[in-house]
Structure 1
Amino acid sequence: MLHRVSLKAIGGQAATLVNDIATPKINHEKRSTAINSTKSTTSSIRIPLIIVALGFLLGRAVILFELLPFVIPFVAVIYKWRRSSTLLASLAVLAGGTTVGFSFAGHIAVALLLYFVLQRGITTVAKERQLVPVTVFFSVAIARYVSLLVIEGGTFYHLLTAVIEGGLAMIVTMIFFQSVPLLLETRKKISLKHEEIVCLVILLASLMTGTVGWLVFGLSVEQIVSRYIVLIFAFVGGAAIGSTVGVVTGLILSLANVANLFYMSLLAFSGLLGGLMKEGKKVSVAVGLIIATLLMAMYGDNQVPMQVSVYESLVAVFLFMATPKRWTTELSKFIPGTMEHSQEQQQYLRKIRDVTAGKVEQFSNLFLSLSKSFSLLEVNGDKTNREREVDLFLSRVTEQTCQTCMKKHHCWTKKFNETYGLMEQLMGECEKEGEVKNKQLIRSWKEHCVIDERVIDAMKKELNQHYASKQLKQQLVESRRLVADQLKGVSKVMEDFAKDIQREKKAHEQQEAQIMESIQHAGLEVDVVDVYSLDTGNIDIDITLPSNAYNEAEKIVAPILTEILDETIIVKHAETISLTGTESRITFGSTKAYIVEEGIAHAAKGGRLVSGDSYSTMEIGAGKHAIAISDGMGNGTRAHIESQETIGLLKNILRSGIEETVAIKAINSILSLRSEDEVFSTLDLAMIDLQDGMVKFLKVGSIPSYIKRGSTVKAVEAGNLPIGIIQDMDVDVVTEELKAGDILIMMSDGIYEAPMMVENQDVWMKRVIKEIETEDPQEIADVLMERVIRDSGNEIHDDMTVVVAKLDHHSPKWATISIPYEQRA
């Protein structure tokens, strides 16, 4: 019930705060609506114009002198993608076909009519998009065969021609489904796949097919446009994209006019040369086209005079040079592998990261506000609470007594203050003594009230219910305090998480250059050095080596980095980049300044298998090592379950990032509220910082721990009750500094209190630890366990656990390599 109440309160607070967070977005949404309305108006004009232009050119696109494989696929894609523009697209392709010939226009009209009939019939059966290419195939093939059958008669060749045109149309339909939306939709921060780029080039080449036969001052328009497109893609995407665009464009144009087959080689060679020379900017790419044109014109069997071909290339170069840089930059953002695309992706990811971090920070503030709101519920004046409790208590007593008394009006109207004061004194007397022993108070009450004994008896009975109600309220307060502490801890974790999200690779060009120079000076080749962090204790560097066959990264590079950065650096991760090569990417990072060597000895009471003690050693993030011992009350299975539960909760909470003190308070609240049985457990926790050697001791009902440094033994203790005894507890934190060679000894009370004849266990334990000569942690644990059992009459009177940890410097496997001081990062 307590948890349900707390959760309902959380829900109410969360709803209010979330609404507050969301309120400032209203004006932003209104502005976004207005902007979207303007964009929608512009798009409603632009898209129809593009559809008309595309349809007109595709209606003129004739390949192999008579085939029209682009018309029906274009209309089919528009029908599926933007059905309201289907009529406009149909009229556009008919207009384009009319400019070629009325017979072509008639054939297009028949094919369109057949397509719509078949599409309507198929739609009634299934609405899957996969059936569109099949519909296009049958409509184009049937229209072509019927046309040839009427004009020239039915032959196998005509049937084959119809099937080929239908197959081409089916393939073009699948291509147009990927490419047509690219020209009509506004896409931002989305990269194009290589398949989409090829499909887009096929669409552009198909459009250029519609310009076949157009001449401007004797120069072919399709040749100028095709070379211009090759220049653009070579400049933007490099040699691979440029040559691909050249081959695809030349192939499509050669289908429209066999004489253009020669230009496939010219365009492919131009794209290859231009892409290879793209580092020299536009001039170098243009020079690549001119060189390819001259070579092909001089040594190729070209039906076009060399002078005309050069002029066409010069016009394409002029258009290319006149193209605004903004256009090529925008196009580069969609082509994978370009610098602009990488920057766009990084910007997009950075924006997503910032948005995510902002949301996490908002929720962190939300949880913090919730924590404060639950804390404020407890900040009520004690005097006000006391007065309210007295009023409620006395009202319940008077309901059972004064309501049926004939002098009710006299006592509570004429003598209200006197009656209330006497009853308040009676209540206080009953709370302290359990009954009214003050004879003077009894005498005064008898003189005032005619049913004095009845009121006192009712007050005693009601007091039991009052105590139960008060205990319930106290548990509710503790539940609220538990919720507040947990919410505060979650808020801190989320705040740290938001900071980690916002961390990004900083610019370390100078340090990267110095590191590369130092490694090369040692005789190793280095391909890439990426420095992500140079923070002390959090070094993060990636280095790509041509080979790591002889473990050069650990033997040479790590020591060099250790000398450069004045911090011990080790290999965190190594991987081979490719299966065929030897190139390896190595991740280097900071190691801990100290290492912990542990030894553990454990025994159950009477030599049993189940012990009430539980222990754990674990690595916590940020270079911390935790050692914990929990002793459940009593022995056996029940004690084992309690101690295991305590250790398990501690491990999970600490690994989540919640601070140690909050974690222990949370465990105490959970265990104290979980059960009404008086089952307690102790907790001894040591948190060792492996960077500076500082150790925090958090002792809850546990016995002292000991630090041995040479021949000196120091006790560390704190006075906290065991977990689960009281619901409101303060955790005392004791901080000590460990040095290399120090030995930390933690134990349960079964070890500490075992010797019965010893009067001062602390002095005896210090003497025993001091007498142990070995420094091996496991040997110390075994010797201490054996000594305690021997001094206890060779009997194990209680569960015994001892954990020994030795702190030592971390020594790298390979020594550092000295380098000149000026080369240090």
Structure 2
Amino acid sequence: MIYKNDIMTYKRSQKDLKPETERLKLFTLQHMLLYISVFFAARVFMLRSMSPFGIAFFTAVFGVLEKKVAFITGLIAIAGYLSSYHGYHTAAQIGVGAILMIMMFAFNGKNRVYKMSALAFISNLTLNIILGMKFDPDGVVLYDIIVMILESVIIVASSYIFTYAVPLYFQNKKRKILSKEELVCLSLIFAMIISGMPKIEYNGLSLGNMIALFLVLASGYTEGPTVGAASGAILGILSSISDFTMPVSLGIYAFCGLISGIFKHMGKFITAFSFILAGTLLSFYTAELFNIETIYLDTLIPALLFVVIPQSKYERLVLLIDGDKRSIELQKSYIERVKDVMGLKLAGISNTLSGLSEILEEKIDNELARKAEINGLVEKLADKVCAQCDSRDLCWKRELYYTYDSFVELLRLLERSGRITTSELPESLRRKCIRPNELIKQANHIFEIFKINNRWKKKLINSKVIVADQIRGISNLINSMMEEAATSMEFKNDIEEEIAVALDRKGLEFDDVLAIKNPRNKYEVTIYRCPCSGQQVCTKDFVNVISKTLGVRMIRDKSNCKISNDASLCQFRLVEAENYNVVTSVSKMAKENISGDSYSCVNLGEGRYMLALSDGMGSGAAASIESNATITLLEKFMEAGFERNTAIKAINSVLVLRSSEESFATIDMGLIDLYSGIGEFIKIGSGPTFIKSGMEVDVIKSTSLPVGILDEVDIESQIVEFKNGDMIVMVTDGVVDANDELKDKWIVKALKEFDSGNPKDVADYIINRAKSYYGDRIKDDMTVMVSKIWKVI
């Protein structure tokens, strides 16, 4: 019995706690905020006879939440009406609230909010007419009836509007996006709370005034001068609804909102200071209505609170309430998702290509393969010579290891000298072999075939290496594209708007504007418009307007106009102009009819300029083929975006493979950044490069072998920072060797002596001096390429 009573007591205590828990759920923080809002909403009194928002709030809560919460809300609304008593008007609102609280237990179903709103409309209109006729000394006139109908309509409309706002009090998660309806509801609730707040003042400071000023400052800072002034005007009007002595606050709030929006780009501190100054200065014009010190403090305290709040909170607020900026962020998010998806696909392709490259590069020339080759040669040689020999049993059975080592020694001598005679036969074979002449003959023949096969095998391995390098280069190019996609494509929506306004102001027609910043932090602007039928308005009109808007010099890129298939839309792109220009001139002189030197000077785009000079082996047509192939491949690789090491290694492999005979070509390449004026020079077996700056001449030399000689190429590079007016002089070996004693020193001396800013004159001068050193007989092809760099002003 004791245990039974204890258990029953435990159950009773649980039942007693359950109602207590339910009561606590009605007074959570969210519920308290809702009750406070209802209380202040009921206090709002408009046009001397209307206070519809308390009843409307109660009706909305009844339509959305539980009846218990609605009942408490009704009591809070009645308390709000009692706290600001306005005669029989308040009595009518209290009566309407009481009727609705009684009748709400009879309404069920999904449409109960509409039923309750209809009942509120009828009850409010009826009670106001009855009480007005009884207690109003002037009676009820047509104006009063119109106001009563208007109030009843506001109750119904506000009830529907508040059904969007009430659920926001009970959101457990932080909202990232609010609908337009929710924004309107929240704005209306904030306005009602401020308007319904009592005059909480201390030494002239008004709490409601400071809250309103803070909202004005925050809206101007986040949304700009237009929204700041508009929010100031709205809050000023709301202040005037409850206090008819403060209509001038409309101008103060609007002006402060305008100023805070104008200075928003200068940071929070400057914005807050400008806000305080605007409020203080404007108070001088209203000194009779306001205390200047009070206005100063009313603006100072909200400004201090504004500065203390972290910047991240304002940024989140902007995305929450600004539809345009939110759509921009959603667009960026969508672009990032697309980039992520494409990045995964490209990463998969890159990894596959990288794996394929590693497989192709696997070394097959290991120790076991070497031993297998030796065994194969020994077996072939023994089969050719010893198969029909009478002493084969003695050599390959009784003395197997001795004979094998002797044959290996014979192959070692062949590898060292290439071909041997009978007198060079190893001592071990000379003493015991009965067919020495046949052995030497077959050994030379087999080893010659082995060398030929080995040469082709080496070419096959080199072809695998070049394919592996090409595939790795493509993989690296894909990776660089992924990195550019991740860091580039910085869309400038604010810049697009400025450009659109500037073009429209000038009367230039366009359909759309796209502005981005590329990976080098340079502007690129794409314009979409109807075709101009060859009038070139893109360079005549658009360039000037966009350059002035962006504050940088823009130029039309070199690509042609892209016109749609139906010729209804033209697309052209403007890019940020380079800070440096390069002009190049070349002078050549051939030993034979055809020069073996080739050159290139090309703008690779994105502010990169390439200078390239190649000298093929020897002279004439054969050398021209080698150097021209080198320059052609170099141009194609660099224009395609390949990394320069990959391009040079691929060219080296091509030259090694393309002919069974020895062939090579030098590479002298300069890459100039036209934005920064910094150049990189890569030299592979080439002659020296001369940098003339004023009267000073610097020399860049090479110690590496030309491409096409070795399987691996040694790449040397040097960085140079150019000044305005500097000259780059690149020459082939034929020019340097014109004076065997001085070599490159005579070119340095000639550049210092000849003072000309024209690249063509300098190139002709150097080539003529070289010709004078050779006399009547030129020993090698000569090419001089001179480039001048100057800064665009």
Matches within 5 A, 1:628-707: 628-707=612-691
1:537 and 1:590 in contact (8 A); partners too = no
Q: Deviation string for 1:729-772 (max 9, x for gaps)?
A: 333333333333221001223322234xx511211111011111
Partners of 2:649 and 2:561 in 1: how far apart?
44
Where 1:808 maps in the other structure, the secondary structure is strand
Matches within 5 A, 1:91-106: none
Where 2:723 maps in the other structure, the secondary structure is coil
In the TM superposition, residue 706 of structure 1 has moved relative to its aligned partner by 0.7
**Which is further off, 550-559 or 628-637?**
550-559
2:527 and 2:572 in contact (8 A); partners too = yes
Q: Does 1:793 align with 2:782?
A: no
Where 2:745 maps in the other structure, the secondary structure is helix
Letter in 1 for 2:747: M
Partners of 2:700 and 2:446 in 1: how far apart?
49
Q: Structure 1 residues 534, 359: closer, same or farther in 2, change over 3 A?
A: closer
Q: Does 1:777 align with 2:759?
A: yes
Letter in 1 for 2:547: A
Which residue is equivalent to 2:114? Answer: none
Partners of 2:637 and 2:679 in 1: how far apart?
19
Unpaired runs of at least 5, structure 1? 1-278, 285-337, 812-825
In the TM superposition, residue 560 of structure 1 has moved relative to its aligned partner by 5.0
Letter in 1 for 2:752: K
Partners of 1:550 and 1:681 in 2: how far apart?
42
Letter in 2 for 1:685: M
In the TM superposition, residue 354 of structure 1 has moved relative to its aligned partner by 5.7
Q: Structure 1 residues 359, 280: closer, same or farther in 2, change over 3 A?
A: closer
Q: Structure 1 residues 807, 412: closer, same or farther in 2, change over 3 A?
A: same
Match of 2:694 among 687, 701, 710: 710
Partners of 1:469 and 1:526 in 2: how far apart?
67
Q: Structure 1 residues 388, 568: closer, same or farther in 2, change over 3 A?
A: farther
Q: Structure 1 residues 622, 392: closer, same or farther in 2, change over 3 A?
A: farther
Letter in 2 for 1:632: G
Match of 1:561 among 538, 545, 550: 550
Where 1:691 maps in the other structure, the secondary structure is coil
2:546 and 2:554 in contact (8 A); partners too = no
1:542 and 1:588 in contact (8 A); partners too = yes
Partners of 1:810 and 1:613 in 2: how far apart?
32
Partners of 2:641 and 2:358 in 1: how far apart?
20
Match of 1:589 among 568, 575, 586: 575
Letter in 2 for 1:593: N
Unpaired runs of at least 5, structure 2? 1-178, 185-323
In the TM superposition, residue 777 of structure 1 has moved relative to its aligned partner by 1.5
Match of 2:611 among 620, 627, 638: 627
Letter in 2 for 1:597: V
Partners of 2:631 and 2:461 in 1: how far apart?
26
Match of 1:603 among 582, 585, 589: 589
Q: Does 1:397 align with 2:381?
A: yes
Letter in 1 for 2:650: A
Partners of 1:509 and 1:465 in 2: how far apart?
71
1:718 and 1:734 in contact (8 A); partners too = no
Partners of 2:790 and 2:579 in 1: how far apart?
9
Q: Does 1:425 align with 2:409?
A: yes
Which residue is equivalent to 2:729? Answer: 745
Which residue is equivalent to 1:55? Answer: none
Q: Deviation string for 1:13-54 (max 9, x for gaps)?
A: xxxxxxxxxxxxxxxxxxxxxxxxxxxxxxxxxxxxxxxxxx
Where 1:740 maps in the other structure, the secondary structure is coil
Where 2:361 maps in the other structure, the secondary structure is helix
In the TM superposition, residue 409 of structure 1 has moved relative to its aligned partner by 4.3
Question: Normalising to structure 2: TM-score of the pair?
Answer: 0.50
Q: Structure 1 residues 436, 412: closer, same or farther in 2, change over 3 A?
A: same
2:556 and 2:573 in contact (8 A); partners too = yes
Partners of 2:376 and 2:562 in 1: how far apart?
76
Letter in 2 for 1:672: V
2:491 and 2:517 in contact (8 A); partners too = no
Letter in 2 for 1:421: D
Which residue is equivalent to 2:358? Answer: 372
Partners of 1:457 and 1:577 in 2: how far apart?
74
Match of 1:495 among 446, 456, 479: 479
Letter in 2 for 1:779: D
In the TM superposition, residue 626 of structure 1 has moved relative to its aligned partner by 1.0
Partners of 2:682 and 2:489 in 1: how far apart?
37
Partners of 2:183 and 2:484 in 1: how far apart?
45
Q: Structure 1 residues 358, 621: closer, same or farther in 2, change over 3 A?
A: farther
Q: Does 1:767 align with 2:749?
A: yes
Where 1:719 maps in the other structure, the secondary structure is coil
1:519 and 1:560 in contact (8 A); partners too = no
In the TM superposition, residue 641 of structure 1 has moved relative to its aligned partner by 3.4
Q: Deviation string for 1:222-272 (max 9, x for gaps)?
A: xxxxxxxxxxxxxxxxxxxxxxxxxxxxxxxxxxxxxxxxxxxxxxxxxxx
Letter in 2 for 1:364: S
Letter in 2 for 1:373: I
In the TM superposition, residue 483 of structure 1 has moved relative to its aligned partner by 1.3
The alignment-based identity, stated in percent, is: 29
In the TM superposition, residue 791 of structure 1 has moved relative to its aligned partner by 4.2
Question: Normalising to structure 1: TM-score of the pair?
Answer: 0.48
Partners of 2:456 and 2:562 in 1: how far apart?
63
In the TM superposition, residue 691 of structure 1 has moved relative to its aligned partner by 2.8
1:553 and 1:571 in contact (8 A); partners too = no
Which residue is equivalent to 1:806? Answer: 788
Where 2:442 maps in the other structure, the secondary structure is helix
1:374 and 1:480 in contact (8 A); partners too = yes
Match of 1:720 among 698, 704, 709: 704
Q: Structure 1 residues 506, 634: closer, same or farther in 2, change over 3 A?
A: closer
1:486 and 1:666 in contact (8 A); partners too = yes
Q: Deviation string for 1:134-180 (max 9, x for gaps)?
A: xxxxxxxxxxxxxxxxxxxxxxxxxxxxxxxxxxxxxxxxxxxxxxx
Q: Deviation string for 1:80-131 (max 9, x for gaps)?
A: xxxxxxxxxxxxxxxxxxxxxxxxxxxxxxxxxxxxxxxxxxxxxxxxxxxx
In the TM superposition, residue 458 of structure 1 has moved relative to its aligned partner by 2.9
Partners of 2:428 and 2:515 in 1: how far apart?
87
Where 1:627 maps in the other structure, the secondary structure is strand
1:671 and 1:723 in contact (8 A); partners too = yes
Matches within 5 A, 1:308-347: none
1:367 and 1:488 in contact (8 A); partners too = yes
Where 1:376 maps in the other structure, the secondary structure is coil
Q: Deviation string for 1:787-815 (max 9, x for gaps)?
A: 3334443765543321111122222xxxx
Letter in 2 for 1:777: P
Partners of 2:495 and 2:707 in 1: how far apart?
51
Q: Which has the larger radius of gyration?
A: 2
Q: Deviation string for 1:381-403 (max 9, x for gaps)?
A: 3x334322211111111112333
Partners of 1:741 and 1:498 in 2: how far apart?
38
Letter in 1 for 2:746: W
User: Aligned pairs, how many?
Assistant: 466
Where 1:681 maps in the other structure, the secondary structure is coil
In the TM superposition, residue 370 of structure 1 has moved relative to its aligned partner by 1.3
Which residue is equivalent to 1:322? Answer: none
In the TM superposition, residue 716 of structure 1 has moved relative to its aligned partner by 1.1
Letter in 2 for 1:785: I
Q: Structure 1 residues 402, 809: closer, same or farther in 2, change over 3 A?
A: same
1:650 and 1:664 in contact (8 A); partners too = yes
Q: Structure 1 residues 534, 629: closer, same or farther in 2, change over 3 A?
A: closer
Q: Structure 1 residues 536, 662: closer, same or farther in 2, change over 3 A?
A: closer
Q: Determine which structure has greater relative contact order: mean sequence separation of CA pairs < 8 Å that are 6+ residues apart, divided by chain length.
A: 1
RMSD: 4.9
